[in-house]
Every structure is written in structure tokens, then in C-alpha cells.
Amino acid sequence: MPKENSRNQVPVRAIISGGGTGGHIYPAIAIANELKERHANTEILFVGAQGKMEMEKVPKAGYPIEGLWISGIQRSLSVDNLSFPFKLTSSLLKARSIIKKFKPNVAIGVGGFASGPLLYVASRMGVPSLIQEQNSYAGLTNKWLAKRVNTICVAYEGLEKYFPAEKLVHTGNPVRKDILALDVTAKRVAAFQHFGLDPAKKTILIVGGSLGARSINESISKDLHKIVNAGAQVLWQTGKNSFEENPDSAGLLSHPLVKRTEFIYEMDLAYALADIIVSRAGALAVSEICLVGAPAILVPFPFAAEDHQTKNVLALEEKNAAIHIKNSDAKNLLVDAALALLQDTNHQQQLAQNIRQLGKPKATEQIVDEVLKLV
């Protein structure tokens, strides 16, 4: 039997920890799916934070999950910070119990509150460990774990300033297979039919993350009449937190050119019909837009941890691969910038060509390669 096949018979018992946002959860699920495809006998246990969206999304993807009582430290003075030492102690103890019971032969951290305690305990207990840093600026949890883990998979260049260089592997970010396999031309007709939009109209896709983006939503609400008057149409994901908040002062939310929804599950179809994209700049969104190769206007959320979304955009802006609009400028500039880009096909082609070059279609496979090296 070839050596590679012999290695593939080693049972894989993997703990994957992290979450808090779709930007952490969906890459984690992509890694889990790739592991299962490679090894039918793989057993996977997720560990997340109690009350966070991974506790709902992961079981829907078919994987078991345990929850830790953990949250982040607030930047401002907060009563919640007083409970942090108790939460951390509780999470460390539960993480130890989970590891002793599950007996993983590898631990994977994808960022988020739960990954800190879990990966810390795993490394202390001798479990080979890997973390995946999705952003261009390393988060506090991953910087804290860097000296303890065996491998650090990164999506951007230049992270040697945060992590030991000998542990770094430049893989890119994992994305869902339906995005990887997306053929825009083949799916475009079906996409317009699915969302009930007109294929003859220029289309703006507006997404602000799974929870929504207040500044983007308020900007679109304020100037929606400009988009409609220009004869363009929008597919607009408001996010769960903002769907009911948008005022319909101009009576345009039910206009045929406006398709507004709380959440888009069929993102492959959404990307297929978009002439341009308006989005936040989370790691997952940026990675998907790179692979799709779409002209994009990015409005980073300035209060994300370490302001990492702004740093994600700056990394693209340096390569003329996206348009950057500050959160504070969105209300005055966003819709006008979107309409200007919608009319400028040369600029669209330039942005699309540049951002497509930054895509990493083999990211999930390469990360799993590194996982299996540890096993």
C-alpha cells in the first residue's frame, strides 16, 4: 500500500473552535467538510461560544457543537468586563473536560471568543494545534496563541510582524464550495429568475454581513431614490438586526427595482447577477469577492476588533483592487460612488481584474493539508 494511502487510514479526530460571525463559522465548516471528504472516518467536534450564532449554524451543517461560557473584553468600561475572569476560568475548565472526553488528535482555531481557551488548553495537553488568521491584521486571540500552536495559516502577506515566521503558511481563506465552483455566465439567467429581478437592468448587490451594517443600510435608505431614478436595481441584504429598522419614507422598498431581504442564503446566485458589489470588509466577504472577481465598493466596520476590516480594505486598495469608502463618509458618498462605478465599465473591468488575481481557490485544500501533516 502506498505511503500516502497508509497515512490516509489514520483516524482523524478534530476539534474546530471559533465563531461569533459568519466570517469565522463558514470557513470552519468548509474545513470540516474538506476533512470529511478526504477521510470518511473523520470525527469532528465544534466548540463555540454560548449564545453566539455558531450554536445554531454548525448543527444545521450537520456537526455537533459544545458551547463555552466566554465573551470578549469590551473596549470601554463595562460591567461585562467584571465577569470576564470567571468566564475565562469556566471556559478553560470546560475546554479541558471536552478534550479529555473527545481525545482529539488535532485542534483547529478559526478565530472568535471560544478559540482562545480551547486552543490554549489543547496545546497545554499536547494536542497538535493549528490556527487560521483570516485578516490582514492579527487578532488578539491568535497573537496570544501564536507561540503555542504548531502551524499558522494566513490569508495575507506580511503577517511575520505578528507571528513566528517559521510557523506561517500562506493559504488564503476557506470559502464555500458553491462560490468556488461559481460560473457566473451559466448561473446569471437562473439568478435573475430566482430573485425576481430584470436581467436587462444593471444590478447592485448590497451586503453588510450576516447581522447587517447600519451605515450601509442607512446610506442606501437615504438615497434609494437615486438608484431607482437611474434605472438601476438592487439586491439588498439588510441583515437580521436591521431588516425592520429601515424607514420606507419614499415608499420605495416595494418598488420592482428593489429586492430587500434579511439574509441571502444563495450567495452564489447573488454574486452571479451583480454588476457591482457594496459590502463590509470582513475576511470571508473579501475572500469570496476575490474569487468571484467582482468590482466592489467596501465600507469597513471601524469598530471591528483591532479595526481589522479597514486594514483588509487597505491591502486591496494598495493594489487598486477595490474602492474604499470610510464608514463615516458612507451617508454622503456611498450611493453616488456606486452609481458612478455602475456607469464606468472600464473601471469595473480594472477592479475585477485586479481583485481576481488575489483569489486563493485552493485555500481550504491547503489548510487541510497542513492539518493532516499534524495528524
Please indicate, yes or no, whether residues 256 and 350 belong to a single structural domain of this protein: yes
- pLDDT attached to residue 2: 39
pLDDT tens for 41-51 read 999 999 999 99
Is 369 or 76 the better-scoring residue by pLDDT?
369
User: CB–CB of 316/293 below 8 Å?
Assistant: no
Please indicate, yes or no, whether residues 162 and 189 belong to a single structural domain of this protein: no
User: CB–CB of 135/142 below 8 Å?
Assistant: no
- pLDDT attached to residue 177: 87
String of b and e for 25-40 (b: at least 16 CB within 10 Å)? Answer: bbbbbbbbbbbbeebe
Please indicate, yes or no, whether residues 128 and 262 belong to a single structural domain of this protein: no
- pLDDT attached to residue 93: 97
Please indicate, yes or no, whether residues 166 and 203 belong to a single structural domain of this protein: no
| Helix, strand, coil percentages for the chain (3-state, nearest 5) | 45, 15, 40
User: CB–CB of 270/263 below 8 Å?
Assistant: no
Please indicate, yes or no, whether residues 49 and 136 belong to a single structural domain of this protein: yes
- pLDDT attached to residue 330: 97
Please indicate, yes or no, whether residues 100 and 193 belong to a single structural domain of this protein: no
pLDDT at 277 over 50: yes
Task: Give me the percent of the chain exceeding a pLDDT of 70.
Answer: 91
Q: Does the annotation place 135 within a ligand binding site?
A: yes
User: CB–CB of 133/143 below 8 Å?
Assistant: no
Please indicate, yes or no, whether residues 182 and 99 belong to a single structural domain of this protein: no
Q: How confident is the model at residue 16 (pLDDT cuts 50, 70, 90)?
A: very high
- Assign residue 234 the CATH number of its domain: 3.40.50.2000
Beta strands in the chain (DSSP E): 13-17, 43-49, 65-68, 106-109, 129-133, 151-154, 168-170, 203-207, 233-237, 258-261, 276-279, 296-298, 323-324
pLDDT at 318 over 80: yes
Give me the mean pLDDT over the 215-227 stretch.
94
- pLDDT attached to residue 3: 39
SS3 (DSSP) at 109:
strand
Please indicate, yes or no, whether residues 131 and 199 belong to a single structural domain of this protein: no
CA separation for the pair 347, 351 (Å, rounded) = 6
Q: Which of 63-67, 72-76, 236-240 has the highest mean pLDDT?
A: 63-67
Give me the mean pLDDT over the 141-159 stretch.
94
Q: How confident is the model at residue 35 (pLDDT cuts 50, 70, 90)?
A: very high
Give me the mean pLDDT over the 155-160 stretch.
90
Please indicate, yes or no, whether residues 278 and 349 belong to a single structural domain of this protein: yes
- pLDDT attached to residue 40: 86
- pLDDT attached to residue 357: 94
- pLDDT attached to residue 76: 55
From 142, 143, 106, select the one nearest 122 (Cα to Cα).
106
Name residue 47's beta-bridge partners: 17, 66
Q: How confident is the model at residue 85 (pLDDT cuts 50, 70, 90)?
A: confident
Please indicate, yes or no, whether residues 145 and 185 belong to a single structural domain of this protein: no
Q: Does the annotation place 264 within a ligand binding site?
A: yes
Rounded to 5 degrees, what are φ and ψ at 152?
Answer: -125, 110
pLDDT at 62 over 90: yes
- pLDDT attached to residue 7: 46
Q: Does the annotation place 356 within a ligand binding site?
A: no
Q: Does the annotation place 71 within a ligand binding site?
A: no
- pLDDT attached to residue 243: 67
Give me the mean pLDDT over the 206-226 stretch.
89
Q: How confident is the model at residue 137 (pLDDT cuts 50, 70, 90)?
A: confident
- pLDDT attached to residue 6: 39
Q: Does the annotation place 112 within a ligand binding site?
A: no
The residue segments making up the domain with residue 256 are: 178-356
Give me the mean pLDDT over the 179-204 stretch.
95
- pLDDT attached to residue 75: 55
- pLDDT attached to residue 1: 37
Please indicate, yes or no, whether residues 158 and 259 belong to a single structural domain of this protein: no
Give the mean pLDDT of the chain.
91
Please indicate, yes or no, whether residues 150 and 299 belong to a single structural domain of this protein: no
> How many folded domains does the chain comprise?
2
pLDDT tens for 328-372 read 999 999 999 999 999 999 999 999 999 999 999 999 999 999 999
Give me the mean pLDDT over the 260-286 stretch.
94
